[in-house]
Structure 1
């Protein structure tokens, strides 16, 4: 209790930074647990258990809040988000088992690039020269990681990009949901809907986990749930543009973990391309925040 009180007494930007760093640690560790669990289970089973065990871990919150906390009028958006996110999750989990963890992480930084393109095509947002240039730079960074022409693009890399594309689409859906829904409800509805959806394909490859694999699966579900909770609470304390630079922490973290546990050393191309992708997405987020504040001031002045 004293620790919680001390944390609550910290300034909001400090709390947001600590929560975001915690989220990055949890999200990074997910890749390790996915790799370890998939050594004994098919990746589609791992996807199912990630969702189902997250429901189990969130059961105390449901009992404390009551079923009324899940009341919503946006079942369509929740269902759309779950379907797309499940496909993206399966692609991302499979990619982690096929390519080095650092490469999968670097390619995952492309999600905001796809989200920006989606906002233009779907939401009709207007982007100007500087954001277009940042988009181009981001995709150049992607090519640096993939190095087409120097070597064949692997199936794992394509799956990692498919995961980033799916995440970008769900980000647009979540952006609409956050206008009316609680962060905990958004996370819970995701795993509630994805659990039965992911069970169907998992049954075709079903084998029961052994004791050690159960441990990795619970760690995976716990890390994912805690990561989402920390991330959503951090975003409630500070602007995303202030927090996004901390996302690059995932690359050195996963590089160290991958080297220590699996002997994987990221190449110079992964570091360079990942940095280029990240800088471009950070700039795009910054410009979006600047434009949003400008529009808010203009609206207030009318």
Structure 2
């Protein structure tokens, strides 16, 4: 199997995990604020990562020579994720994901400058087709501009920074090291921000399972995404994530009764077409002669 197809398979795990995290985040939003959600998410993540690292003897892979890059990456992600968790509580899930998906445009434009990757015509076409599909699904207008729309759109910028810095880190460090610093640094950030007012809410019997799901899904999503980025260029991996939009649109309709119409499927068809052409061309080019 070619690296491009393997990266596409890893991204399916990321898509499922991010979708589960959106639903769980909305379910606990009535009891916990976004900082508390991030704190508990990171706490679960630390437990899982430390257990795996200790069980596999991978402590030697936890590196400390790029803590500055880790800190900037995790600050960007912590900020973007808080904005994202707020957005999923106030606007339809499909709209959140649609606005979040402007981040691949930033990645594709900035990757040649930040990562030194080549922007091919096929990659640019996939990104443009994906963005067109998103616009068809979301059909944004100024009348719908509100705090949820603004925070969702803002989160995309921070997620783009996160993706590019993750790709840079994968050149020198393994996934265990990246996930260890992701969870530990963001746990500290979460404790500081959640406790600044002297009151941190505790999960109850109803919210506890959702909090656990957020922690596990968030960790699995980053594991899959980081693994995909380690074997394929960011400008190839990121457009695949567009598939999350029609997926979450269906989930929003089934679980929360959010409106869905034929335009969602028209946009999804364009998104799938762009991804298929991108993966097909990249796979053919990666085959040995």
Alpha-carbon separation, structure 1, partners of 2:257 and 2:194: 29
Alpha-carbon separation, structure 1, partners of 2:116 and 2:161: 14
Q: How much has 1:141 moved relative to structure 2? A: 6.3
Q: How much has 1:265 moved relative to structure 2? A: 2.1
Q: How much has 1:104 moved relative to structure 2? A: 0.7
Question: 1:191 is matched with which residue?
Answer: 183
208-217 vs 223-232, greater mean Cα deviation:
223-232
RMSD (Å) for aligned C-alpha atoms: 3.7
Alpha-carbon separation, structure 2, partners of 1:132 and 1:19: 22
The alpha-carbon distance between structure 1 residues 188 and 275, as it changes in their structure 2 partners (threshold 3 A), is farther
2:44 pairs with 1:53:
yes
| CA displacement, residues 70-99 of structure 1 (integer Å, 9 cap, x when unaligned) | 123101101111111111111111111111
211-220 vs 16-25, greater mean Cα deviation:
16-25
Q: Could you say what secondary structure the match of 1:217 adopts? A: helix
Question: 1:7 is matched with which residue?
Answer: none
158-167 vs 250-259, greater mean Cα deviation:
250-259
Aligned with 1:81 (options 35, 59, 73): 73
| CA displacement, residues 271-295 of structure 1 (integer Å, 9 cap, x when unaligned) | 66677678779989999x79x98xx
> For residues 191-270 of structure 1, what are the structure 2 equivalents within 5 Å?
191-203=183-195, 204=197, 206-236=200-230, 246-266=240-260
Which stretches in structure 2 are left out of the alignment for 5+ residues?
Answer: none
Aligned with 1:171 (options 158, 163, 185): 163
2:28 pairs with 1:34:
no
Contact 1:12–1:238 (8 Å) recurs in 2 = no
Question: 2:140 is matched with which residue?
Answer: 147
Which stretches in structure 1 are left out of the alignment for 5+ residues?
Answer: 1-10, 294-302
Question: 2:62 is matched with which residue?
Answer: 70
93-102 vs 277-286, greater mean Cα deviation:
277-286
TM-score of the superposed pair, with normalisation by structure 1: 0.76
Alpha-carbon separation, structure 2, partners of 1:18 and 1:130: 20
Alpha-carbon separation, structure 1, partners of 2:116 and 2:230: 26
Query: Looking at CA atoms only, which structure, 1 or 2, has the larger radius of gyration?
Result: 1
Q: Could you say what secondary structure the match of 1:211 adopts? A: coil
TM-score of the superposed pair, with normalisation by structure 2: 0.79
